[in-house]
């Protein structure tokens, strides 16, 4: 089972998508190899739900962040090797030898290009494998001063790779390191047989480990550069979350806020004017929760959290007018979907931004109040609910597990400024009218009044 | 002064429609000639803002409808004539003297395309002009026809009956023309009286449009509106409906300076948008002097129409959608401040923001609009609370709603306008119908 986040949530938080502007995936996508990118995509698509797995992965990131290594290859070298290893010249040495002899003959007579191609990719592959070997021993060397080599979280994987590369069958690798001359036919056939047939699976493992290395090093370096930290995952049942200086990972100069939830305070009732940063705060929270469940670095100086089973958000619910759904009905269906999941007893993170827009004031008030109160009974989930219906907040204050927070607006004459800093309490700030007044619309209409 | 409108309005009302899809234009776009089609588009682009001009056009189309006029020309004639007229190269002019023997031989061996086109063009024009003459005599200028008073028609008639055009009437189009005559007509039609010929053709294209529109009016039993002077400030439409909907429900509305703001409420599916679109389309067509989908219509001519029904959401929902609405209102406000009397439609005003802001803004904007007694506003909203305040503040707001009848928990709609503010509160009903609260309650019990 994997951490649940549906399409609406992924869109709200702009998590996935290589070509989407400012997506969180593209923020982290600094890997060098195609294989690494695929692996990163898989990690983004399947966050984890066990605290051990999460903590183990973040340990590895941390380790590489401390080492500040760089991934020593570029994509071309790696894809050349991958291409070469995925092909085959034959099943056994004799067949390979004959096939290659035929190709060599063809190359001499009719300038067929296959033989020289095989030779050059073989040479490239040997060069990359040698490079891998050096890189692993370098990693190890740095480790020698430390007493417990085995403590290093990526030790097992590296050991496997090292053993494969030091296999006696590959002893000749080092010798061929510097050879610039072309191998003769016999040697080519011998190496080709070894790499593409005898050692095929082992070398596949080597490549996969290096894809992992690519991801770990890229993400660790990004964390270093952005000053991200690693969240500590706690077992599921506690329903505890504490974060300091939480901010949006993709916004420069984002303002940091602390967030804290526990069993008896599991819902945030958020108020504030339209531009005060409610949505950004909610998105920042959702993104960091998601990243934390991937074991990835988070945009906070410190974070501890009980593992959850999934996240649902309702921030930009599109109205589906083609199907005859109004905005209001689209929101109702979204709330229903979340209610279904919550009522199954799942431990979820729920984010609702400004519910029930497309209806009248009274209904919006009734609906917000009823829905919020019903959800708040679920102490195993975490909720952030934002609204302009402050009256609902006054009533909900009676529920002890609701924290009321707001994002303030400070008026500088008629120009609103925002601190983006959470404050306890409920705010009645609004400035829809102010926008209308700043545009001078009422004056324009009245100006020629007859 | 021109009748002003904008792209947003034309898209809202589906005047031109998307390529290939049905639109108001395509409803009428059945002219026989290609140039008639172009002229029709032009009429749609420039509605009129002058009661006399509107009524004159209505009179003409109404007459054509009563006499069941048929467009007598074959459209191929116009292709030939237009092609011929498009050739303004002096070198192709038919010379007055007979061609040399050499030339005649050449043209026998390889026929001359230019020459053929010229001969065809001339005989097409002769046929067209003769048919126009008989159309005028037999249909358009009969006793009691409004076209008798029409300046343009009178002028056309005069042109037909004076030389040189009258010479054409004497020819028998079936006979082959002599070369001397051909060259004389060529010089006359294509060069010397070129503009006169074009004026005649334009008149025929206009007839094409009017006859087509009259036919459409007969088929759909549309009625002809009556334009009143600008100063009267009334709109009375009885039984209007959406021309593109089957089984559309007709509605009636009466707007005067004492009720020039229509505050429309109703549930989401109750038909608010359709009502507003039907009204907008009727006003648009009426200002073109076209028949409308209604039983009766009288209207004072206005200076323009601006609707905001489907404001594009491409700016993203939230503050930016709200801002798009604000800018749209600003545009209308600017138009109002120039002193124009316009027809304004706003559907679901401020749906892009929270209910509280929407409530305040709806009150502020609507009461500001209400000062403009000579313009007409139709504003729909889901913020019914704003209506109560507006009722106290402004006397000239007329409150209308489209009702929902609940059959147990299933809503039914009449689509018939009623007076007042609806207190239909569907929000909670929808939430209850979806059973969200029960779902949560039940889940809680099971988990415990």
* Residue B442 touches chain A, beta carbons under 8 Å: yes
Q: How far is Cα B437 from Cα A104, in angstroms, rounded to an integer?
A: 77
Q: Are residues B117 and B78 in the same domain?
A: yes
For all residues of chain B together, what is the average pLDDT? 87
Task: Answer whether residue B127 is part of any domain.
Answer: yes
Residue of chain B nearest A370, judged by CA positions: B437
What pLDDT band is residue A349 in, cutting at 50, 70 and 90? very high
Residue B284 reports pLDDT greater than 90: yes
Q: What is the mean pLDDT of residues B84-88?
A: 86
Task: Answer whether residue B205 is part of any domain.
Answer: yes
Q: Are residues B35 and B148 in the same domain?
A: yes
Q: What is the mean pLDDT of residues B178-194?
A: 85
Residue of chain B nearest A362, judged by CA positions: B385
Predicted pLDDT at B312: 66
Task: Answer whether residue B424 is part of any domain.
Answer: yes
Q: Are residues B73 and B153 in the same domain?
A: yes
CB A3 within 8 A of CB A47: yes
Number of H helices, E strands in chain B: 17, 12
Predicted pLDDT at B109: 66
Q: Are residues B349 and B279 in the same domain?
A: yes
> Per-residue pLDDT tens for A23-70?
999 999 999 999 999 999 999 999 999 999 999 999 999 999 988 888
User: Between these two residues, A321 and A397, which has the higher pLDDT value?
Assistant: A397
Tell me the CATH number at B114: 1.10.1420
Residue B315 reports pLDDT greater than 50: no
Q: Domain boundary at B220, B235, B266, which?
A: B220
Chain B 302-321, residues with CB within 8 Å of chain A CB atoms: 310, 313, 316-319
Q: How far is Cα B135 from Cα B139, in angstroms, rounded to an integer?
A: 6
Residue B313 reports pLDDT greater than 70: no
Q: Is the peptide bond before B411 cis (omega within 30 degrees of 0)?
A: no
Q: How far is Cα A164 from Cα A150, in angstroms, rounded to an integer?
A: 18
Q: How far is Cα A106 from Cα A185, in angstroms, rounded to an integer?
A: 13
Chain A residue numbers with beta carbons less than 8 Å from the beta carbon of B318 are 274, 279, 316
Q: Are residues B231 and B306 in the same domain?
A: yes
Predicted pLDDT at B4: 93
Q: Which domain holds residue B319?
A: 226-442
What pLDDT band is residue B316 in, cutting at 50, 70 and 90? very low
Task: Answer whether residue B36 is part of any domain.
Answer: yes
ipTM confidence score? 0.74
CA A259 to chain centre: 20
Chain B residue numbers with beta carbons less than 8 Å from the beta carbon of A339 are 436, 439-440, 443
Predicted pLDDT at A450: 47
* Residue B325 touches chain A, beta carbons under 8 Å: no
Of the candidates A84, A59, A287, A119, the one whose C-alpha atom is nearest the C-alpha of residue A197 is A84
Residue B304 reports pLDDT greater than 90: yes
* Cβ–Cβ pairs < 8 A, chains A and B: 184
Q: Are residues B204 and B232 in the same domain?
A: no
What pLDDT band is residue A320 in, cutting at 50, 70 and 90? low
Q: Is the Cα dihedral A260, A263, A264, A268 positive or negative?
A: positive
Q: Are residues B424 and B341 in the same domain?
A: yes
CA dist list (Å): A322 to A130, A318, A327, A337, B309 = 59, 11, 12, 20, 15
Q: What is the mean pLDDT of residues B262-271?
A: 86
Chain A residue numbers with beta carbons less than 8 Å from the beta carbon of B384 are 360, 362
Q: Are residues B69 and B198 in the same domain?
A: yes
What pLDDT band is residue A327 in, cutting at 50, 70 and 90? confident
Task: Answer whether residue B244 is part of any domain.
Answer: yes
Residue of chain A nearest B355, judged by CA positions: A361
Q: Which residue has the tokens 């190359």?
A: A107
Q: Are residues B77 and B116 in the same domain?
A: yes
Predicted pLDDT at B317: 44
Predicted pLDDT at B190: 87
Task: Answer whether residue B14 is part of any domain.
Answer: no
> Per-residue pLDDT tens for B190-245?
888 889 999 999 999 999 999 999 999 999 999 999 999 999 899 999 999 999 98
Q: Domain boundary at B205, B220, B235, which?
A: B220
What pLDDT band is residue B444 in, cutting at 50, 70 and 90? confident
Would the pTM of this model clear 0.90, i.e. be above it?
Answer: no
A21, A355, A361, A378: which to substitute to probe chain B, counting the most B Cβ within 10 Å? A361
A436, A437, A439, A450: which to substitute to probe chain B, counting the most B Cβ within 10 Å? A436
Q: What is the mean pLDDT of residues A321-328?
A: 61
Task: Answer whether residue B56 is part of any domain.
Answer: yes
Chain B residue numbers with beta carbons less than 8 Å from the beta carbon of A356 are 355, 427
- Which of A318, A340, A431 shows the shortest C-beta gap to B439? A340
DSSP reduced 3-state for B263: strand
B322, B374, B436, B444: which to substitute to probe chain A, counting the most A Cβ within 10 Å? B436
> Per-residue pLDDT tens for B363-405?
999 999 999 999 999 999 888 889 999 999 999 999 999 998 8
Predicted pLDDT at A219: 95
> Per-residue pLDDT tens for A194-239?
888 888 888 899 999 999 999 999 999 999 999 999 999 998 888 8
Task: Answer whether residue B26 is part of any domain.
Answer: no
Name the architecture of domain A228-441.
3-Layer(aba) Sandwich (3.40)
DSSP string, B226-243: EEE-GGG--EEEEEE--T
- Which of B337, B353, B425 shows the shortest C-beta gap to A360? B425
Residue ranges of the domains in chain A?
A: 75-225, 228-441
Chain B 422-441, residues with CB within 8 Å of chain A CB atoms: 425-428, 430-431, 434-437, 439-441
For all residues of chain A together, what is the average pLDDT? 87
Residues in chain B: 448
CB contact under 8 A, A318 and B368: no
User: Between these two residues, A311 and A357, which has the higher pLDDT value?
Assistant: A311
- Which of B268, B352, B368 shows the shortest C-beta gap to A445? B368
In terms of DSSP bridges, do strands A382-386 and A267-272 run parallel, antiparallel, or are they unpaired? parallel
Q: Domain boundary at B220, B238, B272, which?
A: B220
Predicted pLDDT at B186: 86
Predicted pLDDT at A180: 62
> Per-residue pLDDT tens for A244-294?
999 999 888 889 999 999 988 999 999 988 778 888 899 999 999 999 999
Q: Are residues B209 and B340 in the same domain?
A: no
Of the candidates A264, A247, A248, the one whose C-alpha atom is nearest the C-alpha of residue A256 is A247
Of the candidates A218, A226, A217, the one whose C-alpha atom is nearest the C-alpha of residue A254 is A226
Per DSSP, helices labelled H in A155-269 are 155-165, 172-175, 185-193, 200-226
Give the angle subtended at the CA of B170 by the CAs of B164 and B176, to the nearest 5°: 105
Residue A177 reports pLDDT greater than 90: no
Predicted pLDDT at B349: 83
Tokens of B307: 């609707």
- Which of B326, B339, B441 shows the shortest C-beta gap to A439? B326
Q: What is the mean pLDDT of residues A304-324?
A: 79
CB contact under 8 A, A357 and B334: no
CA dist list (Å): A296 to A304, A308, B125 = 13, 15, 82
Q: What is the mean pLDDT of residues B184-189?
A: 86
Predicted pLDDT at A249: 93
- Which of B350, B357, B384 shows the shortest C-beta gap to A360? B384
Mind telling me how many Å the CA of B443 is from chain A's nearest CA?
4
Mind telling me how many Å the CA of B284 is from chain A's nearest CA?
24
Mind telling me how many Å the CA of A338 is from chain B's nearest CA?
9
Chain B residue numbers with beta carbons less than 8 Å from the beta carbon of A333 are 434
CB contact under 8 A, A332 and B329: no
* Residue B342 touches chain A, beta carbons under 8 Å: no
State the total domains in chain B: 2
Q: Are residues B365 and B272 in the same domain?
A: yes
Q: How far is Cα B362 from Cα B342, in angstroms, rounded to an integer?
A: 19
Predicted pLDDT at A234: 93
User: Between these two residues, A4 and B348, which has the higher pLDDT value?
Assistant: A4
Q: Are residues B233 and B167 in the same domain?
A: no
What pLDDT band is residue B33 in, cutting at 50, 70 and 90? very high
> Per-residue pLDDT tens for A112-150?
888 888 888 888 888 888 888 888 888 877 665 555 555
Predicted pLDDT at B107: 64
């Amino acid at each position: 089972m994997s951490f649940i986040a549906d399409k609406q949530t992924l869109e709200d938080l702009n998590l996935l998508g290589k070509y989407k502007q400012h997506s969180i995936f593209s923020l982290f996508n600094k890997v060098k190899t195609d294989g690494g990118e695929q692996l990163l995509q898989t990690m983004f698509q399947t966050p984890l739900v066990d605290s051990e797995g999460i903590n183990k992965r973040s340990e590895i990131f941390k380790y590489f962040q401390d080492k500040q290594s760089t991934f020593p290859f570029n994509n071309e070298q790696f894809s050349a090797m991958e291409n070469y290893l995925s092909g085959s010249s034959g099943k056994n040495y004799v067949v390979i030898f004959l096939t290659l002899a035929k190709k060599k003959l063809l190359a001499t007579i009719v300038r067929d290009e296959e033989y020289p191609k095989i030779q050059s990719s073989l040479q490239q592959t040997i060069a990359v494998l040698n490079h891998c070997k050096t890189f692993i021993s370098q990693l190890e060397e740095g480790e020698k001063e430390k007493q417990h080599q085995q403590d290093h979280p990526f030790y097992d994987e590296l050991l496997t790779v090292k053993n494969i590369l030091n296999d006696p069958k590959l002893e000749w690798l080092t010798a061929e390191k510097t050879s610039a001359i072309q191998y003769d036919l016999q040697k080519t056939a011998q190496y080709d047989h070894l790499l593409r047939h005898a050692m095929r699976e082992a070398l596949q493992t080597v490549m996969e480990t290096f894809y992992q290395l690519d991801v770990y090093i890229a993400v660790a370096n990004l964390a270093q550069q952005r000053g991200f930290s690693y969240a500590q995952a706690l077992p599921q049942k506690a329903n505890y979350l504490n974060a300091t200086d939480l901010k949006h990972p993709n916004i420069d100069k984002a303002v940091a806020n602390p967030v804290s939830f526990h069993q008896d305070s599991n819902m945030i009732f958020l108020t504030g004017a339209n531009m005060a940063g409610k949505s950004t705060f909610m998105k920042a929270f959702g993104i960091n929760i998601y990243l934390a469940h991937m074991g990835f670095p988070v945009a906070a100086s410190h974070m501890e959290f009980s593992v959850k089973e999934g996240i649902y958000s309702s921030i930009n619910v599109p109205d589906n007018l083609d199907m005859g759904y109004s905005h209001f009905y689209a929101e109702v269906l979204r709330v229903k979907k979340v209610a279904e999941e919550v009522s199954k007893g799942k431990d979820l993170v729920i984010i609702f931004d400004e519910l029930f827009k497309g209806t009248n004031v009274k209904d919006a008030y009734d609906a917000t109040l009823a829905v919020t109160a019903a959800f708040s009974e679920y102490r195993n989930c975490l909720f952030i609910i934002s609204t302009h219906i402050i009256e609902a907040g006054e009533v909900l204050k009676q529920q002890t597990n609701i924290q009321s927070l707001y994002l303030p607006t400070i008026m500088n004459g008629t120009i609103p400024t925002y601190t983006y800093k959470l404050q306890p309490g409920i705010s009645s700030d609004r400035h829809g009218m102010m926008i209308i007044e700043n545009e001078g619309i009422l004056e324009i209409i009245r100006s020629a009044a007859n | 002064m021109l009748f002003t409108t904008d792209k947003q309005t034309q898209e809202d009302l589906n005047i031109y429609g998307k390529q290939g899809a049905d639109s108001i234009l395509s409803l009428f776009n059945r002219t026989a000639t290609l140039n008639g089609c172009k002229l029709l588009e032009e009429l749609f682009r420039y509605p009129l803002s002058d009661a006399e001009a509107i009524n004159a056009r209505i009179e003409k189309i109404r007459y054509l409808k009563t006499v069941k006029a048929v467009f007598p020309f074959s459209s191929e004639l116009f292709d030939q004539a237009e092609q011929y007229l498009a050739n303004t190269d002096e070198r192709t002019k038919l010379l007055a003297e007979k061609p040399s023997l050499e030339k005649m031989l050449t043209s026998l061996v390889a026929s001359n395309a230019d020459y053929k086109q010229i001969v065809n063009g001339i005989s097409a024009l002769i046929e067209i002009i003769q048919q126009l003459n008989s159309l005028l005599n037999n249909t358009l200028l009969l006793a009691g026809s409004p076209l008798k008073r029409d300046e343009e028609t009178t002028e056309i008639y005069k042109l037909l009956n004076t030389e040189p055009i009258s010479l054409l009437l004497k020819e028998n189009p079936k006979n082959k023309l002599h070369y001397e005559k051909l060259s004389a007509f060529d010089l006359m039609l294509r060069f010397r009286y070129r503009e006169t010929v074009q004026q005649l053709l334009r008149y025929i294209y206009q007839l094409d449009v009017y006859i087509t529109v009259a036919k459409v009016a007969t088929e759909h039993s549309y009625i002809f509106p009556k334009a009143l002077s600008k100063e009267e400030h009334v709109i009375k439409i009885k039984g209007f409906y959406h021309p593109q909907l089957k089984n559309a429900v007709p509605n009636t509305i009466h707007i005067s300076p004492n009720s020039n703001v229509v505050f429309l409420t109703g549930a989401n599916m109750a038909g608010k948008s359709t009502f507003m679109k039907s009204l907008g389309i009727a006003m648009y067509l009426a200002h073109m002097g076209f028949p409308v989908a209604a039983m009766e219509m009288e209207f004072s001519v206005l200076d323009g129409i601006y609707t905001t029904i489907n404001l594009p959401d491409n700016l993203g929902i939230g503050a930016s959608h709200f801002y798009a609405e604000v800018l749209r209102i600003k545009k209308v406000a600017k138009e109002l401040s120039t002193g124009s009397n316009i027809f304004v439609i706003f559907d679901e005003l401020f749906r892009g923001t929270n209910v509280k802001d929407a409530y305040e803004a709806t009150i502020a904007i609507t009461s500001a609009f209400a000062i403009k007694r000579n313009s007409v506003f139709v504003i729909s909203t889901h913020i019914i609370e704003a209506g109560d305040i507006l009722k106290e503040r402004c006397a000239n707001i007329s409150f209308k709603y489209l009702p929902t009848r609940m059959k147990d928990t299933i809503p039914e709609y009449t689509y018939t306008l009623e007076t007042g503010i609806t207190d239909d509160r569907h929000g909670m009903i929808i939430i209850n119908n979806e059973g969200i609260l029960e779902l949560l309650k039940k889940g809680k019990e099971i988990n415990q």
